[in-house]
Amino acid sequence: MEESIINVLEKNNFKFKHKLGQNFLTDKNLLNAIVSDAKINKNDNVLEIGAGAGTLTKEIANKTDGKIVSVEIDETLKPILKENLKDVKNLTLIFGDILKFSPNDVSNWFDGKKFKVVANLPYYISSPIIFYLIENNFKIESLTIMLQLELAQRLSAKPGSKEYGAISVLLDLISNVSIKRKVPKTLFTPQPKVDSAIVNIEIDFNKNNIDYFKISNFIKICFSMKRKTLINNLSQGLKIEKDIIKQVFELNNINLNCRAEDLTTNEFIKIFSLFEKMNL
């Protein structure tokens, strides 16, 4: 870790808290790579979740004059952040748990304007944070986030692969997901147990002309038990007789034995629309 940052952390007697997912980054090349993957322009507003010692915040600030809001749960980082980020004028630091802020608060931080999310996320709550960000009608343009490699692979998985699940489909409905680069665990301080990856999620709620909020529960039900057939999961989750679902599938040439893990996003949309039309 860079000397000056170690000094500031030590001077403040900072103790890394494993339970808060505190694995910090200082590698300049990597920090640069993250902000370049985020394609930050001069006027972009940026939300960072988990400021840590402020190393990524600083790189974000080098790219934009727009508003940067960085949220950090750990108040013991306050003096460290004040010192490391004293020259950054367009930054608002907010202390608290990101998941406890109301969506209104978050929108108001940016005066209701659009923003990009750039973050090295705390791993213990990466998925809840992603859902919080995509399910609250924020004007988010993109998320460029560091995740555990295994979660990154699930977000970008294709049908038929073992990583494919509800979260892959839910994101594919409203965004384009790509893994930008894999990041070895050796680049973090302290080192986590697993490798990571930077994922870019370009949000486009119009991508499939479908109401995300209507279909998302249906998708979750389809994947509720991985080994079971779609008919079984739908029958249990929606409380509909198996025979009725069977008939719908037969009439529409859908394989009676198919499982959620085999279906494409378009096939999910097709089946959901059929169920909606038939008021099932």
Where along the sequence are the contacts to ligand SAM (CB under 6 A)? 20-25, 49-53, 55-56, 71-74, 97-99, 120, 122, 125
Distances (CA, A) of 204 to 131, 143, 221: 15, 12, 23
Smaller CB distance to ligand SAM: residue 125 or 254?
125
Nearer to ligand SAM, 95 or 218 (CB): 95
Amino acid letter for position 167: I
Q: Residue 130 burial by CB count (10 A; 0-12/13-18/19+): exposed, middle or buried? A: buried
Cβ-based nearer residue to ligand SAM, 52 or 66: 52
Among residues 97 and 276, whose Cβ is nearest to ligand SAM?
97
Please name which of 190, 181, 96 lies closest in space to residue 147, comparing C-alpha atoms: 181
Nearer to ligand SAM, 125 or 167 (CB): 125
* Paired sense of beta strands 140-148 and 175-183, if any: unpaired
Tell me how far, at minimum, the Cβ of 248 lies from ligand SAM, in Å.
Answer: 42
Residue with Cβ nearer ligand SAM (71 or 140): 71
Contact 56, 120 (CB under 8 A): yes
| Residue 203 C-beta: closest distance to ligand SAM, Å | 21
Minimum separation from the CB atom of position 213 to ligand SAM (A): 24
Cis bond before residue 190 (omega within 30° of 0)? yes
Is 32 within 8 Å of 187 (Cβ atoms)? no
Burial code (b: 16+ CB inside 10 Å, e: under 16) for 69-93 equals bbbbbbeebeebbeebbeebeebeb
Which of residues 125 and 173 has its CB atom nearest to ligand SAM in the complex? 125
Rounded to a whole number of angstroms, the minimum distance from the CB of residue 211 to ligand SAM is 29
CB of residue 183 to ligand SAM, shortest distance in Å: 11
Taking the complex as a whole, how short is the minimal distance between the CB of residue 99 and ligand SAM, in angstroms? Answer: 6
**Cα four-point dihedral sign 177, 182, 185, 186:** negative
Q: Where are the beta strands (DSSP E) in 184-262?
A: 188-189, 196-203
Least distance (Å) between residue 105 CB and ligand SAM: 13
Please report how the helices 230-238 and 242-251 are oriented relative to each other, as an axis angle in degrees rounded to 10.
130
- DSSP helix/strand/coil, 61: helix
